[in-house]
Structure 1
Amino acid sequence: MPDLDTLESRTAFREWSARSPGQRADPSRFGMLAAALGVEVQHPAPALGVVGSKGKGTTVAYASALLAETGLRVGTVFSPGLVTNRDRLRVNGAVLPLDDYTALLERVDAALRSLPAPADGYIAPSGFFLMAGLVHFAATGCEVLVLEAGIGGRRDDLGRVGLAGLAMAEVFREHTDLLGPTITTIADDKVGAARPGTRFVSHLAQSEEAEAVIRRHCDAIGTDRMRVDATTRAPYAGVVAEGLGGMNAAHGMIAARRLLAELGRPDATPQQVRAAAARVHYPGRLSRHQLDDSTVFVDSAVSRDGFENALAHVERETGAQPALTLVSVPREKDLDGFRTVVATLAGRVVFVGLERVHLHYPERDEWPGEWATADDLPALLRSAPTVLAIGTASFSSEVLRHCGVDTDRVF
């Protein structure tokens, strides 16, 4: 078996790793790479793009599952993967065979190396994997695509793909160095992935500022807008979980059904909706795992509301708050909200900083409690009867890997 870390570093992460201090991604390299590979990014198979600050992955998983349940061959790009980078690319919910995956990375990298050396910036790893997905999905006859953005929307390489529809999850202040300092600038970038020709934008209920931006953008490009709120979600009660995770799941299926309508295909039946929801296996979203004598709950929440929801979930499941809470959240997420919640907890709380992750963690003296590194995780996860591990998707991936969770299929 090839050393995937070495292969991915040499291919998908090569230009990013060699970037100069302060250098940013060059959006033109994605288009140049597409031309070198002969990929039609403006008119791929009908594609649903997914953007947002939180909940994108759940939206992607449920949209993909329902489209596949109706008989379509679905190509999906997650960003990031659940546990590994190989998890990013899937056909009908399954990861690519290892030989296909390694050959695909080599093919895309060969095309990238044929381009002029980067001058104005690099291609982001998320853009490399998105391109790899488009190449593979075209070659394997995928009839519809569900594509998750990396960071943002307009600035992301997803913003250069012709989308039939765009689903927009919750938006909050994040990545302000890249997306701008306010909810308005961030929402504008994310909804900017929808361009003239995008047939609809569906979005969760947002702040007043974000919804105003979404309305203006949809009006400007002549795109229909669908607002997904508690009323819209009501028909999915009992089909998906309660809470924000359930809202994202329902949103994914609502967007998938709208895409079916745009394609002139029959609507999903209630039986297909229930079957698709029952098949989704998407750990890291309030998922529960047994690791020796410890019960580990894993959630990818990065806001105060998400943190409080996860704590309430653990208490409902076990009758008490977790004995140990492991937190890993950078400054660009809701760090202040996390600190506020931590001040109310009676159990032990440890902040875990990951290495080799491009995130801006707080300094140790900015965190009110213990601090650990990824090397400490195996022992920490086994050190208490109930453990809540909560933070970024990259942190959830690390925890799931230690728990030995199988992510070869998400549905």
Structure 2
Amino acid sequence: MTGHGDIVPAAADLDALESRTAFREWSARSPGQGADARRFGMLAAALGIDLEHPAPALGVVGSKGKGTTVAYASALLAETGLRVGTVFSPGLVSNRDRLRVDGAVLPLDEYVELLDRVDAALRTLPAPDAGYIGPSGFFLAAGLAHFSATGCEALVLEAGIGGRRDDLGRVGLTGLAMAEVFLEHTELLGPTIAAIAADKVGAARPGTRFVSHLAQSEEAESVIRRHAEAIGVELMRVDDAARSPYAGLVAEGLGGMNAAHGMIAARRVLAELGRPDATPEQVRAAAARVRYPGRLSRHEFDGSTVFVDSAVSRDGFENALAHVERETGSLPALTLVSVPREKDLDGFRAVASTLTARVVFVALDRVHLHYPDRHEWPGEWATEAELPALLRSAPIVLAIGTASFSAEVLRHCGVDTDRIF
């Protein structure tokens, strides 16, 4: 290990290490300063990473459903015998679980050494006067460096925000899987669905072999088609018909669609590698092995049954409520909501107004999201400190919102996320 002797850091020490490495430039940014698109490439070069020719890589972009797509794609590739490196953005409950090999987080000593190694490379670069490298770029570079050193044969890489503007857009991808796209991060990606779709599909560049995408609005699909034609890439539309062979293997609803999409994209990566297609037995085994909490997952917490879902749209909220009712015979006695303005806040307010049981908005600390003002939410409001008491205050609880919120709830519930398949 580098600079840590034989001592495994405590949680507080690990937080401090991440703050001074992965989050250092982002935390020290000047008011109004943005990310420097060149800095990720400079860091990769300092680490000896060939961004144009990594191991065969599937990139995953979209407004919602990326994590599920990543999990199932990774699981199927691993089931066929490949050593698979995966980058999630963000992690399920921690920064450490952003990076995985064959579904498992890195051993703690390797993770600590990796952070120090990447930070040492970053400190050799010129001062970040023109812009910083963000945490997602730092972890992407760390993952690529680790996966290369450990002989990973296929990569599945989740974008942070966007596609072309994201550091993932600097990686030579074999394929790009595009989940659902809706209005989000408009200040960064553009004010329209078309602009956002263009940024996300822009992670596919000349040399990318295929783009797979879920059914989108016509506005988004038109942009996707034009980009695919412009760079000469094969386009695969994953609709209900394409999903049908996976019915019964994965959850219903949009989560099931994302899971099927991940496996469809993984099979296309196998074809690009010249490897045999996954057998039906391998598909079934991979689907059965995935344990990806925070996506309509059920947990027990101090006598309460807690359902956790990372949905941020009206459809997702309605689907989660229906799922709880199917599972328990009733709607939740308490619903905890945490969504920022840049997601479907209006949709959440509309659904919440139809519920007769208690609904509470939870605003997290330490996350940089644009929550609504207190008066903009037509109901109860709580802080992060109140979350544990809320989780144990009703027999059936639905906690729904951003991945950051799901992670906080999963931490309180003590969910083990060291391995997802």
Q: TM-score range by the shorter chain?
A: over 0.9
CA distance in 1, matches of 2:166, 2:369: 17
The partner residue of 1:141 within 136, 142, 151 is 151
Equivalent in the alignment of 2:379: 369
Kindly indicate whether residue 171 of structure 2 is the aligned counterpart of residue 161 of structure 1: yes
3-state secondary structure, aligned to 1:336: helix
Which residue of 2 is the match for residue 60 of structure 1?
70
Deviations 1:177-196 (A, max 9, x none): 00000000000000000000
How far 1:56 moved relative to its partner? Answer: 0.2
- Aligned residue for 2:356, secondary structure, equals coil
Shift of 1:373: 1.2
**Residue 119 of structure 1, CA deviation:** 1.3
The correspondence for 1:231, drawn from 241, 246, 249, is: 241
Q: Distance in 2 between matches of 1:166 and 1:103?
A: 30
- Aligned to 1:120, which of 130, 143, 160? 130
Q: Secondary structure at the match of 1:202?
A: strand
Deviation at 1:51, TM superposition (A): 0.1
> What is the distance in 2 between the residues matched to 1:32 and 1:109?
13
Question: What is the CA-CA distance between 1:247 and the residue it aligns to?
Answer: 0.3
Shift of 1:45: 0.3
Q: Distance in 1 between matches of 2:46 and 2:252?
A: 46
Q: Distance in 1 between matches of 2:232 and 2:14?
A: 44
User: Residue type of the partner of 1:235?
Assistant: P
Matched to 1:308, the amino acid is: E
Distance 1:55 1:152 in 2: 13
Aligned counterpart, 2:24: 14
- Separation in 1 of the partners of 2:188 and 2:36? 13
The answer for the alignment partner of 2:211 in structure 1 is: 201
Partner residue of 1:280?
Answer: 290
Q: CA RMSD in A?
A: 0.5
Residue 286 (structure 2) pairs with residue 251 (structure 1): no
Question: What corresponds to 1:217 in structure 2?
Answer: 227
> Alignment partner of 1:68: what SS?
helix
Give the superposition deviation at 1:327. Answer: 0.3
Give the distance between the partners of 2:33 and 2:223, measured in 1 at CA: 28
Alpha-carbon distance in 2 for matches of 1:174, 1:23: 20
TM-score (ref. length: structure 1): 1.00
Aligned-pair distance for 1:35? 1.1
In 2, Cα distance between equivalents of 1:277 and 1:118: 43
State the shift of 1:149 in Å. 0.2
The corresponding residue for 1:401 is 411
Aligned counterparts of 2:279 and 2:130: Cα–Cα separation in 1? 49
> What amino acid sits opposite 1:328 in the alignment?
S
Larger displacement relative to structure 2 (192-201 or 33-42): 33-42
Stretches of structure 2 that go unaligned for 5 or more consecutive residues are: 1-7
Structure 2 Cα separation of the partners of residues 353 and 43 of structure 1: 42
Using the aligned pairs only, state the percent identity. Answer: 85
Per-residue deviation at 1:323?
0.5
**1:77 partnered with 2:87:** yes
Deviates more, 1:297-306 or 1:1-10: 1-10
Secondary structure of 2:225 counterpart: helix
The residue number in structure 2 matching 1:187 is 197
User: In 2, Cα distance between the equivalents of 1:36 and 1:285?
Assistant: 37
Deviation at 1:24, TM superposition (A): 1.1
**Unmatched 5+ stretches in structure 1:** none
Find the counterpart in structure 1 of residue 300 from structure 2.
290
**SS at 1:389 equivalent:** strand
For 1:202 and 1:99, locate their aligned partners in 2 and report how far apart those are by CA, in whole Å. Answer: 37
CA distance in 2, matches of 1:177, 1:185: 11
CA distance in 2, matches of 1:215, 1:360: 32
Give the deviation of 1:334 after TM superposition: 0.2
Between the aligned partners of 2:162 and 2:255, the Cα distance in structure 1 is 20
How far did residue 26 of structure 1 move? 0.6
Cα distance in 2 for partners of 1:42, 1:345 equals 51
Partner of 2:270: 260
2:77 is the alignment partner of 1:36: no
Asked if 1:302 is matched to 2:312, the reply is yes
Output the amino acid matched with 1:75.
G
Match of 1:313 among 314, 320, 323: 323
